[in-house]
Structure 1
Amino acid sequence: MAFSRTRYVTLLRSQAGYHEGRDPSGNWNNIQRFSPATLGLEWSQGQAWCATFTAWGADELNARDLWPITASCYTAVQWWKKAKRWSEYPVLGGPFYLGTVGQDHVGVVYAYDEDKIYTVEGNTNAGGSYQGDGVYLRVRPRRGPGSPYGYGVPQFDEGTISADPALGGTAKASVPVPAPPAPQVRVSLSRLQAAADRDPGLRQGGTTHPADVNPVEVALAAEGLLSKEYSHDGSYGSRTHTAMARWQRRYSDAKGLGWSASDCDGRPGRTSLTALGKKYGFAVIN
């Protein structure tokens, strides 16, 4: 059965910036698209989904027999050990597991060096929580506090690349990043504009279209224009207005467009929003 490391890692990385849903109170609720899309894991909707995310990627590539299709990190660790495909060293494209016996959290290693692993993870956040809100790219230590319990060793078409001396002992490695695919995260301009018009008049944290606002907030925070404290609330409030206005001014100045103050008022427009999306991985629709 074919299973490409490059295709797998690229698929998971394409989901960076995706966020789970919120309940009526505005809290993240573990409702996401990976559970219903993975045969046999539909029941896991609403539960912690880091392991489901890694299983979804294998399922999408028709490699169910080569990856543990489970929502449980602990069960996945036992699967790798039973298959005798387990290591205490980083494995390129392989899963890492956190916790005393690997029960707490899982992600996938897309690069590593002597001190760190570079990972793509579901159900985490910018701080690396085991119970987060979306898909993030993270950097974690190889040794000491916060380091993995161990790693699975997938059977990739390209062979195994690992720091494990028994598996080649490659000191550092990374998965080649191909030309980026079309962004998987889509933002509706009309919904974003509706949120920009309505959210400032709602109670603190009130939202209109949080799924469309979230990727924009994350991008504005990454650009250094919005505090991370407000980068995941899904509300297009006054702080997001101000951050967007600053982005519009920055874009206009960089392109020499000479936009006026009314052009840079913080209400999203297609040109500057599309530029932000190209830089931070979301596509602008309708």
Structure 2
Amino acid sequence: MTSQVSKISGIAKAEVGTHEKRSGGHWVNDSKYNRWFGKIPGYDQDGYGWPWCAAFVAWCAAEAGLSALYPKTASCEAGVAWFKKQGRFSAYPARGAMVFFGRNGGTHTGLCIDFDSEWIYTVEGNTNADGSPEGDGVYEKRHRRTDAYVYGYGYPDFAEGIVSADPAWKDKAPKPEPKPEPKPTPPAPKPVSQIVALNSAVKPGATHAQVAELQQLLIKAGYGPIKGAVTRFYGPETQRAVARFHDRNPAYRSGLHDPRIGPKGFVALQKQAGRR
């Protein structure tokens, strides 16, 4: 889910490059943000020619659906007072904070998008690229945190908390989302056994499809050769091979030179031939 600070930061960044109107060779402080905010009597451009840096922040908040978290004002000093009244003003930067500049924070404002140990990174309206007094649009900028021009920061009450450099606000940082418990590895399926039962019809003198299998197993397990194999007939050659199996595995024979494979002997023979 998109965080509230990410939402307003993305909206502010998307406005970079937007300019106010120009007339008579000058920028005239009449922008879409002034028009959104409304007229202020006593200014040129029919009441729309007033400095609009604070209105830009309020517009971004409205676009993000976060109007309740930022002051709707054209006055930077009023913005400082709004945050201080809520006990949400700090000398330390925070992501998504409203940063105020100049004496008592009344000169200029913008959004602090990010910060590190040395810099704050902002999006500001009614400013410029070269630092001249005449602002003309929305720009991405950076300022040293220690710059005397930086007065302080108003902290919006984001639902997810706020990432701040202020030690007193450490416990207000967003809590990391708990990692989902790993799903237990399902047990490996048991291999299907290749061992088959002996058909009762398989005996000396019989003709049966499983006789061919018996002959193949006897040969593979080392009880061959079986002359004429592989066939379906349980003849003398097969009987001699079975007797050799019994000679080496006497637990499975019923008598001396037993020529008939039994059910248990057939299972043992399959295992000796490599079946599992």
User: Same fold judged by TM-score > 0.5?
Assistant: yes
Counterparts of 1:96-135 in structure 2 under 5 Å? 96-129=99-132, 131-135=134-138
Identity %: 41
1:28 is aligned to: 27
What SS does structure 1 have at the residue aligned with 2:80? Answer: helix
Q: Cα RMSD (Å) of the superposition?
A: 2.0
1:5 is aligned to: 5
1:64 equivalent in alignment to 2:64:
no
Larger Rg over CA atoms: 2
2:15 is aligned to: 15
CA separation of 1:156 and 1:133: change in aligned 2, threshold 3 A: same
Unaligned runs of 5+ in 2: 41-46, 173-276
**TM-score where L is the length of structure 2:** 0.56
2:98 is aligned to: 95
1:149 is aligned to: 151
CA separation of 1:149 and 1:81: change in aligned 2, threshold 3 A: same
After the TM superposition, list the runs of 4 or more consecutive aligned residues in structure 1 that deviate by more than 4 angstroms.
none
Matched AA of 2:4: S
Equivalenced residue count is 165
Counterparts of 1:70-81 in structure 2 under 5 Å? 70-81=73-84
Q: Say if 1:3 and 1:61, in contact at 8 Å, map to a contact too.
A: no
1:38-93 CA-partner distances (Å, limit 9, x unpaired): 3xx44362100000000111122332222100000000000000011100100111
Match of 1:168 among 167, 170, 173: 170
Q: Say if 2:11 and 2:64, in contact at 8 Å, map to a contact too.
A: no
Unaligned runs of 5+ in 1: 171-286
What is the Cα deviation at residue 169 of structure 1?
Answer: 8.6
Q: Say if 2:93 and 2:165, in contact at 8 Å, map to a contact too.
A: yes
Matched AA of 1:22: R
Provide the rounded CA distance (Å) in 2 between the counterparts of 1:169 and 1:159. Answer: 9
Q: Say if 1:5 and 1:157, in contact at 8 Å, map to a contact too.
A: no
What is the Cα deviation at residue 162 of structure 1?
Answer: 0.3
Provide the rounded CA distance (Å) in 1 between the counterparts of 2:9 and 2:132. Answer: 21
Q: Say if 2:27 and 2:134, in contact at 8 Å, map to a contact too.
A: no
Q: Say if 1:162 and 1:169, in contact at 8 Å, map to a contact too.
A: no
What SS does structure 1 have at the residue aligned with 2:125? Answer: strand
1:185-236 CA-partner distances (Å, limit 9, x unpaired): xxxxxxxxxxxxxxxxxxxxxxxxxxxxxxxxxxxxxxxxxxxxxxxxxxxx
Q: Say if 2:114 and 2:122, in contact at 8 Å, map to a contact too.
A: yes
What SS does structure 1 have at the residue aligned with 2:32? Answer: coil
What SS does structure 2 have at the residue aligned with 1:54? Answer: helix
What SS does structure 1 have at the residue aligned with 2:104? Answer: coil
Provide the rounded CA distance (Å) in 1 between the counterparts of 2:132 and 2:118. Answer: 20
Q: Say if 1:19 and 1:135, in contact at 8 Å, map to a contact too.
A: yes
**Larger relative contact order (CA 8 Å, sep ≥ 6):** 1
